[in-house]
Structure 1
Amino acid sequence: MPLVHIDNLSRSFDETRALDGASLTIERGEIVALMGANGAGKSTLVKILSGVLSADSGTVTLKGNAFAPRSPAEAAGAGVVTVHQSTDLVGAPGLTVADALLLNRFADRRQPFFVSRRSIRRQAQAMLDEVGFELPLDRDFGDIPAADRQLVAIARALANRAELLILDEPTASLSTEESRRLFEILLRLRQNGLAILYISHRTADLQAISDRALVMRGGSVVGAFARPIDFAQAVETMIGRKLQSARPDARGPEGTPIFEMRQARLLPDSQPFDLSVHEGEVVAITGVLGAGKSRLLSAIFGMIPLPAGTMVLDGKQYRPRNAADAIAGGVAMAGEDRYRSSLMPPSWPGNSLAATISLPHLAKWFPHGFLVGDREKREAENAIERLRIKAPGPLSSIWALSGGNQQKVVLARWEAEPSRRLLLLDEPFQGVDVGARHDIIQAIRSRTDRATLIATSDAEEAIEVADRIIVIDGHGIADAAGAAASVFEDLSA
């Protein structure tokens, strides 16, 4: 008897059919990769298993019994625990990391009413020791990086003694070493009988850890692949067409650079470096987590000061005091965590696709607060067509879109103003499927009137999108060929 059996599951949202007769089984002690383009039905399937949504038809059985949880807490109580891609609900600013790790226990009425800080810290440390993670227990959860927030979510889920663990893009913000450590933990848990449903767009992750792969398209499971998994065929099954490289022949740097950094230091004691990006060029900055990729982009965008060195934009000295200065100077940026940096909260009125695009351009598009024709709607309609955004229309909520389509909207925000001379993209393919990534890369490379600087920890993404790849290590650019090759080899491992 399989641990989980899903038979002919369907779910619709108005006229959109998110699940269309999906069927699959998951056995104890196996890791099943669930692949599919954004909008294929993966998220809806996971939400039904997690108790967030109910199915319109079809059945789910867990250990031979009917399973239809009405809430995530009820699903977790039955042994099905989900770690989602976004970590916004894992903790909140003001809580320590130890508090965030123990939130589930605080809600348990069987726990003591009064608890000491020492007890909280001791329990949190025991939880981390069990899963092999190292986290700063006393730091504010709101101040830790995305990678550490993801580790908090995973550690808390593993502490629930789940029988089925659902992981949605768990390594999206993790370094190579952290990913390997997580894989070791998951393989150990699998040997103990835990079933794992693993959702990721990174084929290297799936190849390293999965026993078999299931492919979803159009709300149904359309392919099953046993180990050794032919991922080329699986990806083609996923997108329904032959996969062709989105990257044409690389363009070499020509003419005067659009942007330069001269003898720049990201930290007071880090090595100085020079960097240049030319018109029409896409340059990828890659390196392990903590090497300085995000800090580099933040300094260029005026979010943190540059301790030393100069920056030049279109031949003029460039020294932004804040993000507003950077935008006024012709620089745009899409941050690593789009949920925190680029999207308005679901409860706010300006969370539509059109409003998301227009947000940084309001002063220009709507001078003195007066609407100028249908500019906002027109730009959104153009973006939907140009970037192949899957959305009912320009007024659709950004939160109703899949992760890949949300990222397309974030890119469309800066595509709407052609005056941008330098585009900064921090982990732009995080949580984006192969099909959407193909569309985004084509959009990035189609613009020859600007320079684009991309920070990515994924070597495969860097190779696919960039004309040049620069390795950053220890907050400085690795200028020795041997050092760069060493770091890049570690990223590709």
Structure 2
Amino acid sequence: MPLLQVENLTRSFGPTRALADATLSIKRGEIVALMGANGAGKSTLVKILSGSLPADAGRITFKGRSFAPANPAEATKAGIVTVHQSTDLVGPPGLTVADALLLPRFADRRVRFFVSRAGIRAQAQAILDIAGFSLPLDRDFGDLAAADRQLVAVARALANQADLLILDEPTASLSGQESSRLFDILLRLKSQGLAILYISHRTADLDAVADRALVMRGGQVVGSFVRPIDFPAAIETMIGRKLQSARPGARNVGGTPIFEMRHARLLPNATPFDLSLHEGEVVAITGVLGAGKSRLLSALFGLNQLIEGDMHLDGKPYRPKSPAEAIAAGVAMAAEDRHRSSLMPAAWPGNSVAGTISLPHLGRWYPSGLLWGSRERREAEKAIERLRIKASGPFSSVWTLSGGNQQKVVLARWEAEQSRLLLLDEPFQGVDVGARHDIIQAIRRRSNRATLIATSDPEEAYEVADRILTIDRHSLSTVADAANPHAIEDISA
């Protein structure tokens, strides 16, 4: 008997049917990958299983009993624990990492819990030991990088006595080393009888752990593939068409650099390095978590300062003291966590596609201070067509869009005006194959700027870049030619 049986599950939002008779099953001691483009129904299915949404029709059987959780706490109590892609609900700023790890226990009145800092730290450390992660227990959870917040979420979920663990893009912001450690933990848990539903756009992740892959499209499960999984066939089933390579040929771009760094030092003890970027060139920087990718991009955007070194943009000295100065000089940036850094909160005005695109340009577009919607509408309509953004219109809330479409809107923001240097930190995080193809083409289409991309995934670097650099201990080192078919092996070594 399957641990989980889902039969003919349906769910609609107004006229839109998110699930249409979805059917699947999962056994104990099995890792099942759930694949699907953004909008295929994966998130709706997970929300129903985790108690965040009710189904309109259909039947769920869990551990041999009918299952319809009224809320996430009820689902967790029954034995289904979900780690969502967004970590906003894991803990608020102000809590320590130890507090965030123990938050469910604080809220459970059934647990007799004597509160002392030493006791909290000891129990939090025990949770980390189970997960095999190392995190600073006394640090403010809100100050953690996205990858570390994800580790807290995964560690907390693993500490629960779950029968089914649902992971939604768990490695989206993890380094290769942390991902490998997570895979080892999952395989160990699988051997102990835990069932795992693993959602990811990264085929390397699924190849490492999945026994089966289920493919969703249009709210239905339309394909099933057993190990060894034929990923090209699975992706073709997922997108409903023949798979074409997203990667254009790498270009050899020469001439005078439009951006240069000389003898740059990111931290006091780091080795200084040089960097040159040419017009029309896409350069990717890859490295493990904490190697310095985000710090480098932040220095270029005025979020922090170099310890030492010079920068020049179009031959002129460039040393921004703030993002406003960087933008005025022609430098744009999309940071790693788009939900925190690029999107207006759902309850605020201006959270639409048009408002998101126009936000940093309002002062130039409307110098009189009077806001007219026509310019915003035009730019949003052009972006929707150019980037194939799936939205009902220019004033649709970005929070109703899938992750890939949200990222397209963020990119469109910096395509609305000319920039000389575009900085993208983990631009493919939580983005499906089809959306990634569109984003790569948009990035490489512009020849009047240089683009610098930070990614923890060598495969993503190879797909998008003309040149690939690796960063280690906050210093750039290896240079790989992306035209070399062995580039991925070279930079992963």
**TM-score when normalising by structure 2:** 0.97
Which moved further from structure 2: 168-177 or 372-381? 372-381
Q: Secondary structure at the match of 2:305?
A: coil
Counterpart CA distance in 1 for 2:307 and 2:52 is 47
Secondary structure in structure 1 of the residue aligned to 2:259: strand
Matched residue, 1:57: 57
Q: What are the within-5 Å matches in structure 2 for residues 174-189 of structure 1?
A: 174-189=174-189
Distance 2:154 2:136 in 1: 15
| 1:131 and 1:155 in contact (8 A); partners too | yes
**Contact 2:29 2:192 (8 Å CA) reproduced:** yes
Alpha-carbon distance between aligned partners in 1 of 2:366 and 2:447, rounded to the nearest angstrom: 28
**In 2, Cα distance between the equivalents of 1:91 and 1:373?**
37
The residue correspondences of 1:34-433 to structure 2 (distance < 5 A) are 34-112=34-112, 114-372=114-372, 374-417=374-417, 419-433=418-432
Determine helix, strand or coil for the equivalent of 1:181.
helix
Q: Which runs of 5+ in 2 are unaligned?
A: none
- 1:180-219 Cα distance to aligned partner (Å, 9 max, x none): 1111111111111110000011100000000010001111
SS in structure 2 opposite 1:391? coil
Q: How far apart in 2 are the matches of 1:373 and 1:222?
A: 42
- The one-character-per-residue Cα deviations of 1:409-450 (angstroms, maximum 9, x if unpaired) are 000111111x21110000000000000000000100111111
Instruction: Report if aligned partners of 1:253, 1:277 keep a CA contact under 8 Å in 2.
Output: no
- AA of the residue aligned to 2:431: V
- The one-letter amino acid of 2:260's match is E
Q: Counterpart of 1:10 in 2: which secondary structure?
A: strand
Distance (whole Å) between structure 1 residues aligned to residue 75 and residue 139 of structure 2: 30
After superposition, what is the alpha-carbon deviation per residue over 1:80-129, rounded to whole angstroms, capped at 9, x for unaligned? Answer: 11000111111111110000000000001123465111111111111111
Asked whether the equivalents of residues 8 and 23 of structure 1 are also in contact (C-alpha less than 8 Å), the reply is: yes
Letter in 2 for 1:336: E
Contact 1:332–1:424 (8 Å) recurs in 2:
yes
CA–CA distance in 2 between the matches of 1:456 and 1:94? 29
Structure 1 residue ranges without an equivalent (≥5): none
C-alpha deviation, 1:488, in angstroms: 6.1
Q: Judging changes above 3 Å, is the alpha-carbon distance between structure 1 residues 196 and 316 closer, same or farther for their aligned structure 2 residues? A: same
Q: Distance in 1 between matches of 2:182 and 2:307?
A: 35
Q: Does 1:457 align with 2:459?
A: no
Q: Residues 3 and 63 of structure 1 are in contact (CA less than 8 Å); yes or no, is this contact kept in structure 2?
A: yes
Specify the alignment match of 1:32 in structure 2: 32
Matched residues in 2 for 1:295 and 1:453: separation?
A: 13
CA distance in 1, matches of 2:321, 2:44: 43
The 1:230–1:310 alpha-carbon spacing in structure 2 relative to 1, beyond 3 Å, is: same
Distance 1:423 1:431 in 2: 20
The CA distance in 2 between the partners of 1:233 and 1:468, in whole Å, is 30
Separation of aligned partners in 1, 2:147 and 2:466 = 28
Q: CA deviation at 1:246?
A: 2.3
Assess, with a 3 A threshold, how the Cα gap between structure 1 residues 256 and 6 changes in structure 2: closer, same or farther.
same
Counterpart Cα distance in 2 of 1:479 and 1:185:
31
Alignment partners' CA distance in 1, 2:356 and 2:100: 30
Report the alpha carbon displacement of residue 268 of structure 1 after superposing the two structures with TM.
1.6
> 1-side partners of 2:162 and 2:354: how far apart?
41
Alpha-carbon distance in 1 for matches of 2:6, 2:113: 40
> 2:476 matched to which residue of 1?
477
Query: How many Å separate the matches in 1 of 2:270 and 2:180?
Result: 28
- Quote the offset at 1:2 in angstroms: 0.4
In 2, distance between residues paired with 1:480 and 1:372?
47
RMSD (CA atoms): 1.8
Q: Find the residue that maps to 1:73 and give its secondary structure.
A: helix
SS state at 2:378 partner: helix
Matched to 1:110, the amino acid is: R
Contact 2:215 2:224 in 1 (8 A): yes
Q: Distance in 2 between matches of 1:13 and 1:25?
A: 24
Q: Deviations over 1:257-288 (max 9, x none)?
A: 11111111111221111111111110011111
Match of 2:258, SS state, is strand
C-alpha distance in structure 2 between counterparts of 1:308 and 1:253, whole Å: 28
Amino acid in structure 2 at the alignment position of 1:477? L
8 Å Cα contact 2:468-2:479 kept in structure 1: no
Asked if structure 2 preserves the Cα contact closer than 8 Å seen for 1:35 and 1:201, the reply is: yes
1:489, CA displacement in angstroms? 4.1
Work out whether residues 353 and 397 of structure 1, in 8 Å CA contact, stay in contact via their aligned partners in 2.
yes
Once residues 2 and 238 of structure 2 are traced to their aligned partners in structure 1, the CA distance between those partners, rounded to angstroms, is 25
Secondary structure at 2:471 match in 1: strand
SS of match in other structure, 2:196: strand
The residue type equivalent to 2:409 in the other structure is V
Letter in 1 for 2:250: A
Q: What is the alpha-carbon distance in structure 1 between the residues aligned to residue 492 and residue 310 of structure 2?
A: 32
1:491–1:251 Cα change, 3 Å: closer
Structure 2 Cα separation of the partners of residues 273 and 492 of structure 1: 21
CA contact (8 A) 2:404 2:430 kept: yes
Asked if structure 1 preserves the Cα contact closer than 8 Å seen for 2:282 and 2:452, the reply is: yes
Contact 1:79 1:164 in 2 (8 A): yes
Distance in 2 separating the partners of 1:224 and 1:53: 25
Alpha-carbon shift at residue 479 of structure 1 (Å): 4.7
Structure 2 contact 462–488 (Cα < 8 Å) conserved: no
Question: Which amino acid letter does the alignment assign opposite residue 390 of structure 1?
Answer: K
- Contact kept? 2:213, 2:225, Cα under 8 Å: yes
Is the 1:422–1:453 contact (alpha carbons within 8 Å) kept by the matching residues of 2?
yes
Q: TM-score of the superposition, structure 1-length normalised?
A: 0.97
| 1:220-278 Cα deviation digits (max 9, x unpaired) | 11110000101111111111111212222211122211111111111122111111111
Instruction: Verify the 8 A CA contact 2:130 2:158 in the aligned structure 1.
Output: no
Three-state SS of the structure 1 residue aligned to 2:349 is: coil
Per-residue CA deviation, residues 270-318 of structure 1 (Å, 9 max, x unaligned), is 1111111111110011111111111110000010101111111011110
Contact 1:288–1:491 (CA<8 Å) still a contact in 2? no
Q: Distance in 1 between matches of 2:58 and 2:488?
A: 47
Mean CA deviation greater in 60-69 or 195-204: 60-69
Instruction: Report sequence identity in percent.
Output: 76
- Structure 1 Cα separation of the partners of residues 70 and 365 of structure 2: 45
